[in-house]
């Protein structure tokens, strides 16, 4: 009696491959269309908001109080000084960086804000600015650094410390203490006469509320540019063809 030979492993493998279902062109096209439809939703929303933001009128152009000058290219930098000037016979070098005070305050800390800037589209948080003031003398490796809150009609010092010139900007009390430097006492714990004298020290160098109109407008323009750039970048990533 004849016996049929058992199929070899290679034959079984070929048979499995030949009989396995392959995606039909219709199914692939349906999947591609579905993916395109899903992508079109955020793309359409991004385009609408991009057009809306691009039509927003910029604030009136203003210049910083003399003798401060604008740092070239500051608008295109992620961080860093916005204004610079020299002061006194010793040639003190003063630089100012700006951010939102809301970035270092608790979420409800400015709940009593008057909501300034409603008509021109500026949020209340841009009516409360954070200044990082760096004051140094030529030939020294240290600089006196102040963190200040700047408002339309006032300025207040949050902290002051002596740090290396290459220390990170806008770090404030969150700065790393790994270098072992003593940062000084909390500003509000200092004697009132010392606090008053430090306020006079920075105001004599032009660090006062007169800086507010320019820095508010500058920060608004920077935020506007960053938002426009973000819309473009996210839209590009979503719309790029997948390999």
Average pLDDT of span 35-49: 77
Q: 78 vs 72, 155, 214, CA distance in Å?
A: 13, 24, 19
Residue 116 has pLDDT above 50, yes or no: no
Predicted pLDDT at 124: 52
Sign of CA dihedral 183, 187, 191, 192: positive
Predicted pLDDT at 201: 97
Average pLDDT of span 15-41: 61
Single pTM value for the model: 0.69
Confidence band (pLDDT; 50, 70, 90) for 119? very low
Instruction: Dump pLDDT digits (tens) for 43-54.
Output: 788 777 777 777
- Angle in degrees, CA 231, 236, 238, rounded to 5: 100
Q: How many whole angstroms separate alpha carbon 243 and alpha carbon 65?
A: 54
Instruction: Dump pLDDT digits (tens) for 70-104.
Output: 999 998 888 889 999 999 998 999 999 999 876 65
Q: For 159-202, give the secondary structure using H, E and C.
A: EEEEEECCCCCCCHHHCCCCCCCCCCCCHHHCCHHHHHHHHHHH
Q: How many whole angstroms separate alpha carbon 50 and alpha carbon 56?
A: 10
Instruction: Dump pLDDT digits (tens) for 157-167.
Output: 999 999 887 65
Confidence band (pLDDT; 50, 70, 90) for 172? very low
Predicted pLDDT at 146: 95
Q: How many whole angstroms separate alpha carbon 116 and alpha carbon 227?
A: 21
Query: Helices (H), strands (E): how many in the chain?
Result: 4, 6
Tell me the pLDDT of the chain averaged across its residues.
77
More confident residue, 71 or 171: 71
Average pLDDT of span 230-241: 81
């Amino acid at each position: 009696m004849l016996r049929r030979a058992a199929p070899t492993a290679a034959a079984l493998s070929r048979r499995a491959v030949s009989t396995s279902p392959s995606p039909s062109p219709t199914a692939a096209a349906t999947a591609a269309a579905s993916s395109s439809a899903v992508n079109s939703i955020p793309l359409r929303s991004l385009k609408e908001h991009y057009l809306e933001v691009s039509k927003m009128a910029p604030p009136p152009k203003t210049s910083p109080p003399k003798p401060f000058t604008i740092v070239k290219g500051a608008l295109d930098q992620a961080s860093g000084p916005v204004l610079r000037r020299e002061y006194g016979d010793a040639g003190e070098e003063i630089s100012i960086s700006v951010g939102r005070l809301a970035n270092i305050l608790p979420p409800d800390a400015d709940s009593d804000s008057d909501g300034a800037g409603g008509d021109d589209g500026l949020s209340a948080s841009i009516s409360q600015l954070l200044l990082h003031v760096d004051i140094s003398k030529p030939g020294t490796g240290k600089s006196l650094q102040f963190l200040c809150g700047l408002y339309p009609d006032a300025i207040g010092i949050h902290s002051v410390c002596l740090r290396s010139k290459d220390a990170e900007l806008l770090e404030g009390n969150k700065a790393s203490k790994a270098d072992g430097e003593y940062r000084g006492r909390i500003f509000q714990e200092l004697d009132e006469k010392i606090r008053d004298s430090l306020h006079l020290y920075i105001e004599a160098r032009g660090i006062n509320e007169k800086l507010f109109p320019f820095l508010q407008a500058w920060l608004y323009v920077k935020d506007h540019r960053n938002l426009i750039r973000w819309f473009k970048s996210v839209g590009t990533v979503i719309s790029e063809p997948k390999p």
